[in-house]
Amino acid sequence: MPAFKRILVKLSGEVLMGEKSFGIDPEVTFKMAEELQEVHSLGAQTSCVIGGGNIFRGVAPSARGMDRVAADHMGMLATVINAVALQDALEKLGIDTRVMSAIEMREVAEPFIRRRAIRHLEKGRIVIFAAGTGNPYFSTDTAAALRAMEIKADIILKGTRVDGIYSADPEKHPDAEFFEHITYMQVLEKGLKVMDTTAISLCLDNSLPIIVFNIKQRGNMKRVVAGEKIGTRVDGILGGE
């Protein structure tokens, strides 16, 4: 039995790159689909928000000189490309999957309709939310928090390259302190780069917990959903009680 009935997995677009410097690695994408399949097989209703940074990021140097709104729209479209790639990999594994886009493009994806998304989840389909919130100036982290609350998810699972939340980047600072549990306010006060401040504030206001874990460790996603203590839990409970 899964520890959480309904989950939202937040993945960065860079996860799909593998060792490439740009774009999508089909083999890595298929492995990510297998991880989602394992979670789905536990019985958890599974949804996903994926970024577009492997293709285009509105705030990246490549967007310098561009109008921010235009750049953000390009970033949103990049997330749709990633969502369709992940959908293809999931369907090759025999899992019914729906891509729901905040920007209407009916030939490619369904428009996001909250009640329809919940119905897909109840029918055992994996739902991938694409195009962020559909608005510029909002990140895919914020989109993940928003969609998770709209579908009444029990938790957000944020996949990263490290084991959880540290006091500093552990890849640059090996002596950085690891947090097994931390509150939303501590994340904001310490300026930790977990999710952006808008996303954290939304989760704080709506008491939506987040677990940050190492997505590169095979099987971690399934372990988290099965209830194992992996990564860092972010919630509003002081002392993690």
* 24 domain-assigned: yes
pLDDT for 39: 97
* 59 domain-assigned: yes
CATH assignment at residue 51? 3.40.1160.10
Place of tokens 């962020």: 132
Mean pLDDT (the chain) is 94
Q: Check residue 2 and give left, alpha or beta (phi > 0: left; psi -120 to 50: alpha).
A: beta
pLDDT for 217: 94
* 1 domain-assigned: no
* 10 domain-assigned: yes
* 213 domain-assigned: yes
* 123 domain-assigned: yes
Burial tier of 33 (Cβ tally within 10 Å: 0-12, 13-18, 19+): buried
Instruction: Give Cα 45 to chain centroid, integer Å.
Output: 15
C-alpha to C-alpha distances, 22 to 127, 173, 214, 220, nearest whole angstrom: 25, 26, 21, 25
Largest Cα span, the chain: 51
Q: How many domains, the chain? A: 1
Least confident of 42-51, 60-69, 141-150: 60-69
Rounded to two decimals, what is the model's pTM? Answer: 0.94
The whole-angstrom separation of Cα 167 and Cα 191 is 9
C-alpha to C-alpha distances, 118 to 36, 108, 154, 181, 202, nearest whole angstrom: 18, 20, 13, 30, 20
Write out pLDDT tens, residues 143-192.
999 999 999 999 999 999 899 999 998 989 999 999 999 999 999 999 99
* 203 domain-assigned: yes
Range of the domain at 72: 6-240
pLDDT for 193: 86
Place of tokens 């097989």: 41
* 157 domain-assigned: yes
The whole-angstrom separation of Cα 27 and Cα 169 is 28
